[in-house]
Structure 1
Amino acid sequence: MLNMADSQQRAVTAAFAPPPPLWKHFTQDNLNRLEEIKKEASKGPNGEPVRDKKWSPSELRALDIPPELRFLVPPEIPTGEYSVFGELQTLSTTLPSLQEQGIDQLYPGPTETNEQDNTQGPPQLNHAYYLLKISKSLLLNFLEFVGALSVSPEQFESKVNDLRNLFINAHHLLNLYRPHQARESLIMMMEEQLQRSKDEIDQMDKVKAEIESALEQMQAQAGETKPEEPPAEKVSAPKEDSRGAEDARHMWDILDKEI
């Protein structure tokens, strides 16, 4: 049973660091001052500022900006490795091979470069087949591991290494699917967006057709029931206004129903 002293001795390897003090410089006054400097620097030969100028971080760093405003300029894009909460992260998206990590590869097939490129090379690797084989090998090795523990527990290390190697190979095979997963996810998102646009267009066409039909119907009714013009002194403007308001109300009822 762990006591309080043991729990306090455990160090957190990736603690959330406090925000850097530079956040205090991100005020509205400083942002307005930076915009004024941009406008002054983007003036043309005639003294008129260039509209909609896109400033790159390197161009902003080349300007004569006060020290307190330089925190508002985006930094350079990191290259290579960078540190996040004390842990080094790499920007490389290339998946290292098992040989580079010093691990035995249990499945044959093309290298990652040949798989990502469309160049001629060995036949494509059947990931599902080898994942199934590794899964069966994991079950078998686990049974052997349990049997070894029941007979001679001191010989557990070799079976643990075999299980570890199998899990790492299975994980590496799954990671090889990541580019394919990203492409398929992007295709699915674009198809959903296209379908939503088509549905909106169809809905607008439907509303347009109903409005045109209602207008034609009102026009036909007005032509059929057009009364004779009464004498000028008996024409009442409020009746015409009430009929126009009724038509407008009918039109809005159609729009509210469809939209």
Structure 2
Amino acid sequence: MADVEEPQEEDEQPEILYENFQLPRPPPYYHQFTEKNLQRLQDLKELHGHDIDNPRTKASILLDLPSELRCLVPPEPPEDGIVLNFGDTKTNLHFLKPLSEMGIPQLYPEPIPLTADESEWTHERARYLKQLARSILLSFIELMGILSVNPNLYERKIEHLRRLFENALHLINEYRPHQARESLIMMMEKQIQKKRDEIEKVKSMKEKVETMLAGLGKEELNGTPDILPSHEASIATPAVELWKRQQRAVWAALDEELGQ
């Protein structure tokens, strides 16, 4: 007798909940993101030895997966850097379009030529941001005055505020490449410093071990080590037993020095 397939765990949402939504409905496959399906996918990964994450074998394995589990496997990043977002083509090569291409008036000058000093444009950008912030504050105060006198005239001032915010946000977003570069530099500096600290610890431990071994060698040349009890030193002990005790004494001294 064939096994009866269990019904999918879907949240039955009344259609009335979506009537007043301004945003589009979520895709129907979001119902498949359940704890049960995620656990099934994890079990399959363990069965295939994580080959499901390998781009070379991912396509063939996806075809063998049940339909409710295929959407749980994230797609590969696009090779050409072009993606489709809500019907609009996006690219990671030009992440920030000029305001003119978006139909927004630009309220600050164009950047200086790339041949000039980069720090010069950085200072100019900061100055324009301060000017935009002051304009936003002043326009907001003017909006409050308009609303108190004639609220019907608010649209023009709201549109002006929108333009100010769009220019300020665009100017801030121009810092993103610089922020990413500085974050990468900081992360690499931390990694280098961590490696240097580890090297210094290894060198320090090496010096301690060499000092300890040199001290033990001197004690061996001078006779019976001081760490052995005096009453045992006078007893005739077989050579093998004496050698074992000396080795134990060396390890005990090293453990004490290393703090173990």
Pairwise TM-score range, normalised by the shorter structure? 0.5 to 0.7
Alignment of structure 1 residues 85-234 onto 2, 5 Å: 87-88=86-87, 90-93=89-92, 94=94, 95-110=96-111, 118=114, 124=121, 126-226=124-224, 234=236
Q: Share of identical aligned residues, percent? A: 32
SS in structure 1 of the partner of residue 101 of structure 2: coil
CA-to-aligned-CA distance 1:45-92 (integer Å, 9 cap, x gap): xxxxxxxxxx864x986x8x8952797999665453335xxx457541
AA matched with 2:31: P
Q: Is the 8 A contact 1:103 1:165 kept in 2?
A: yes
Distance 2:149 2:181 in 1: 50
Q: Which has the larger displacement, 140-149 or 174-183?
A: 140-149
Give unpaired runs (5+ residues) of structure 2. Answer: 1-14, 226-234
**2:44 matched residue in structure 1:** 27
**1:255 aligned onto 2:258:** yes
**RMSD, aligned α-carbons:** 4.0
Instruction: Judge conservation of contact 1:81–1:88 (CA < 8 Å) in 2.
Output: no
Q: 3, 12, 24: which one pairs with 1:13?
A: 24
Change (3 A) 1:152 1:6: farther
1:20 CA drift (Å) = 7.5
Q: What is the alpha-carbon distance in structure 1 between the residues aligned to residue 209 and residue 100 of structure 2?
A: 69
- Indicate conservation of the 8 Å contact 1:30/1:69, yes or no: no
Question: What displacement does 1:139 show?
Answer: 1.0
What is the aligned counterpart of 2:64 among 47, 53, 68? Answer: 68
Tell me how far 1:160 sits from its aligned partner.
Answer: 0.5
CA 205–14 in structure 1, closer or farther in 2 if over 3 Å, else same:
farther
Give per-residue Cα distances to partners, 1:219-254, cap 9 Å, x unaligned. Answer: 112212359xxxxx9442433322221111111222
> What code does the residue aligned with 1:246 have?
A
Instruction: Report if the CA contact (8 A) 1:110-1:121 is conserved.
Output: no
Distance 1:186 1:91 in 2: 24
Separation of aligned partners in 1, 2:87 and 2:47: 33
1:242 paired with 2:245, answer yes
Give the whole-Å Cα distance in 2 for the aligned partners of 1:157 and 1:66: 53
Secondary structure in 2 matching 1:141 = helix
TM-score normalised by structure 2 residue count: 0.67
Distance 1:207 1:221 in 2: 21
What is the number of equivalent residue pairs in this alignment?
Answer: 217
Asked if 1:82 corresponds to 2:81, the answer is no
Change (3 A) 1:244 1:121: closer
Higher mean C-alpha deviation, range 246-255 or range 125-134: 246-255
The gaps in structure 1 that reach 5 residues or longer are 36-54, 228-232
Residue pair 2:18, 2:25 contacting (<8 A) in 1 also: no
Tell me: CA distance 1:144–1:66, structure 2 relative to 1, closer, same or farther (3 Å).
Answer: closer
